[in-house]
């Protein structure tokens, strides 16, 4: 069994829980996920099965689409709704939509983020959340991320009990902390803030419309259609350029041979396909620019 299970992760599961549950349902150990989602978050979580585990790093490295709710008036230690409140500043009056939209525009493009203390980022070999649980403050490394698009959803805000909330849609690069983005948007508006809800709608080419819940997966398995749920490897690599080869080159690629670089190739990394099958991921040779070499062979 090889391919991508397009799972819709429901609230209450960790990403590791989803891998464990899928292993039991599909009766295979070789499954990996493509980007952690917290238990309070729902959304697209592609699971790579069998040979597809070889593309986990490439699918993880894709652009993501999220819908999040920013709540102004309180900030929390975890930057989301699950943490203890650490700062309050009541929002006494509604903020004009034009001001919110103007602030959101400032976060488009390449921005700097400082990851939250409650995150899996490592500092000196130790996860930040481990330091946080021990009450130890450490200097967190700043990182650059890319926000391709950010917009205000529904063009309305909710204002009650000293808090103001609005929803945003974000298209961003790997490694973007939406929690931190919400906090930074709040700071730019002059208020403590946190992320009160989050849904991931897309990972690479795999979107909500492609996804299935565990109940739907189990129903298909019960009817003997489990393998039909899997998307082909090519679906997880649609964001990478493609080089098509004829049948007579198939064995050379399958054996991972270093080959002459075709003149028409411009991408530094690309998937090699024969008809509709992805055979490998290749790259321009790092020391021999007139050659191509394998990165992954399937």
pLDDT > 90: percent of the chain = 75
pLDDT at 80 over 90: yes
- Given a contact cutoff of 8 angstroms between Cβ atoms, the answer to whether 277 and 297 are in contact is no
The pLDDT score that the predictor gives to residue 205 is 93
- Given a contact cutoff of 8 angstroms between Cβ atoms, the answer to whether 264 and 234 are in contact is no
Q: Provide the phi-psi class of 90: left if phi over 0, else alpha when psi is between -120 and 50, else beta.
A: beta
Burial of 252 (0-12, 13-18, 19+ CB in 10 A): middle
d(CA 133, CA 145): 26
pLDDT at 35 over 90: no
Interhelix angle 214-222/15-26, rounded to 10 degrees, is: 10
pLDDT at 66 over 90: yes
Three-class SS state of 114: coil
Query: Which H or E run contains 193?
Result: strand 193-203
pLDDT at 129 over 90: no
Position 38 confidence tier, pLDDT thresholds 50, 70, 90: confident
Average pLDDT, the chain: 92
Position 193 confidence tier, pLDDT thresholds 50, 70, 90: very high
List, in order, residues 6 or more apart from 109 with CB less than 8 Å away: 146, 147
Neighbours of 274 (CB within 10 A): 17
The pLDDT score that the predictor gives to residue 198 is 97
Position 133 confidence tier, pLDDT thresholds 50, 70, 90: confident
Q: What positions carry a catalytic annotation?
A: 38
Number of Cα atoms under 13 Å in the Cβ half of residue 28:
17
Phi, psi of 173, rounded to the nearest 5 degrees: -85, 170
The secondary structure of residue 270, as a DSSP letter, is E
Task: State the residue for tokens 């050659």.
Answer: 291
Q: What is the pLDDT of residues 16-33, one digit of tens each?
A: 999 999 999 999 999 999
Per the structure block, which two tokens stand in for 24?
């039991």
> Which residues is 64 bridged to in the sheet?
172, 203
pLDDT at 96 over 90: yes
Q: What is the pLDDT of residues 260-288, one digit of tens each?
A: 998 888 899 999 999 888 999 999 999 99
Please compute the mean of the pLDDT values over residues 104-117 and round it to a whole number. 92
Please compute the mean of the pLDDT values over residues 175-183 and round it to a whole number. 95
List, in order, residues 6 or more apart from 17 with CB less than 8 Å away: none
pLDDT at 117 over 80: no
The pLDDT score that the predictor gives to residue 221 is 93
Interhelix angle 97-105/178-189, rounded to 10 degrees, is: 120
Per the structure block, which two tokens stand in for 185?
């948007």
Domains contained in the chain, CATH given = 3-62+204-235 (3.30.2350.10), 64-202 (3.30.2350.10), 241-297 (2.30.130.10)
Please compute the mean of the pLDDT values over residues 71-83 and round it to a whole number. 94
Q: What is the pLDDT of residues 200-246, one digit of tens each?
A: 999 999 999 999 999 999 999 999 888 889 999 999 999 999 999 99
Radius of gyration of the chain from Cα atoms?
A: 22
């Amino acid at each position: 069994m090889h391919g991508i299970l397009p799972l819709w992760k429901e609230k209450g599961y960790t990403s590791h829980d989803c891998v464990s549950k899928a292993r039991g349902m599909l009766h295979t150990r070789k499954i990996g996920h493509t980007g952690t989602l917290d238990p309070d978050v729902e959304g697209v979580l592609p699971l790579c099965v069998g040979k597809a585990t070889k593309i986990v790093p490439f699918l993880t490295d894709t652009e993501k689409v999220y819908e999040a709710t920013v709540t102004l008036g309180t900030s929390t230690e975890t930057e989301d709704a699950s943490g203890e409140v650490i700062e309050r500043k009541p929002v006494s009056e509604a903020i004009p939509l034009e001001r919110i939209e103007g602030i959101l525009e400032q976060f488009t493009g390449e921005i700097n983020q400082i990851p939250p203390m409650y995150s899996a980022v490592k500092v000196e070999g130790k996860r930040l959340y481990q330091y946080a649980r021990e009450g130890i403050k450490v200097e967190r490394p700043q990182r650059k991320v890319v926000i391709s698009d950010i917009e205000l959803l529904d063009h309305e805000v909710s204002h009650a009990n000293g808090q103001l909330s609005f929803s945003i849609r974000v298209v961003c690069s790997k490694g973007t902390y939406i929690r931190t983005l919400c906090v930074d948007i709040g700071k730019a508006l002059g208020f403590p803030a946190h992320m009160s809800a989050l849904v991931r709608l897309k990972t690479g080419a795999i979107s909500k419309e492609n996804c299935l819940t565990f109940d739907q997966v189990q129903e298909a398995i019960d009817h003997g259609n489990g393998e039909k749920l899997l998307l082909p490897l090519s679906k997880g690599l649609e964001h990478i350029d493609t080089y098509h080869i004829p049948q007579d080159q198939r064995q050379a690629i399958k054996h991972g041979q270093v080959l002459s670089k075709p003149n028409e190739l411009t991408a530094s990394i690309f998937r090699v396909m024969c008809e509709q099958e992805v055979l490998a991921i290749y790259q321009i040779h790092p020391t021999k620019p007139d050659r191509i070499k394998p990165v992954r062979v399937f």
